[in-house]
Amino acid sequence: MGLTRNDAAARRIGWIIRRMHAEASRRGAAVYRAENATKETPFKILVFTMLSARTKDETTLKALVRLFQEAKTPEGVLALGNKKLEKILFGIGFYRVKTRNLLKACQSLKGRGVPDDLEGLLELPGVGRKTANIVLARAFGKTALGVDVHVHRISNRTGLVKTKKPEETERILTAIIPARHLRTLNRDFVAFGQTVCLPRRPMCGICPIRNLCWRVGVVDEKKGNPGKKSGNRKK
Ligand code: SF4
């Protein structure tokens, strides 16, 4: 249909996601533990997602546990104040900026729930499109796709898309993948990216979806050559 380069993978996306999920679960992907630890409330999911940018899930989870021991609501977080919150979040990437954003977001959330629509979420300080989509999918079960570095990388390596920017990846995946798979796609691609399709050294030799993956740009360590280059395949 022209939108997808690797049409075979797009057609079998349900199978691919199931295989990714099984392998990443077996390997104890951190994102599944994070999901279990944050599923009680939309506020917890929002806070975790805001804090997790450029930080390992394990580190974010520890900070989240410390935070929720002290405060479980926007009002409670505000009552902590900047200094104490910084101390709690110390260790996660950009903790000072995230402290400020979280306090501003809590000010905006005071007395109302976490918004369940994209526009409302994007109005919150520190919440971009990726975070908003992840919250919509995980907290409210909506058909939304948050594209982070893992989703963007794996989608390009497999040949599902050929894109430079996450926004393009989101647009194309949303167009070619059935809605029923979109809600969990972020979680399972992230889990797979944490355990098998690693950023620097993807474990292609043991990969359960290798027969459908084009390995675009992946260096073959024995030969020292990149895998199939984007543009080598017909649409
Ligand atoms: S075959 Fe390699 S590049 Fe493709 S999804 Fe598996 S680990 Fe990633």
| Position 233 confidence tier, pLDDT thresholds 50, 70, 90 | very low
| Position 185 confidence tier, pLDDT thresholds 50, 70, 90 | very high
The verdict on the CB of residue 22 being under 6 Å from ligand 1 is no
Domain residues of the chain, as ranges? 7-226
If you measure from the C-alpha of residue 22 to the centroid of ligand 1, how many angstroms do you get, rounded to a whole number? Answer: 15
Q: Does residue 119 contact residue 132 with C-beta atoms inside 8 Å? A: no
pLDDT score of 198 more than 90: yes
Which residues make Cβ contacts (< 8 Å) with residue 80, sequence separation at least 6? Answer: 70, 71, 88
pTM of the predicted structure, to 2 decimals: 0.86
Q: What pLDDT score does 108 carry?
A: 95
Rounded to the nearest 10 degrees, what angle do helices 30-38 and 42-52 cross at? 140
Correct CATH for 7-226 of 1.10.10.10, 1.10.340.30, 3.40.50.1000, 1.10.12.10: 1.10.340.30
What is the identity of the amino acid at 104? K
Give the whole-angstrom CA distance, residue 177 versus residue 155.
Answer: 12
Closest CA to 57 of 88, 81, 29: 29
| Position 54 confidence tier, pLDDT thresholds 50, 70, 90 | confident
Chain segment 83-100, per-residue pLDDT in tens: 999 999 999 999 999 999
The verdict on the CB of residue 198 being under 6 Å from ligand 1 is no
Give the whole-angstrom CA distance, residue 150 versus residue 162.
Answer: 15
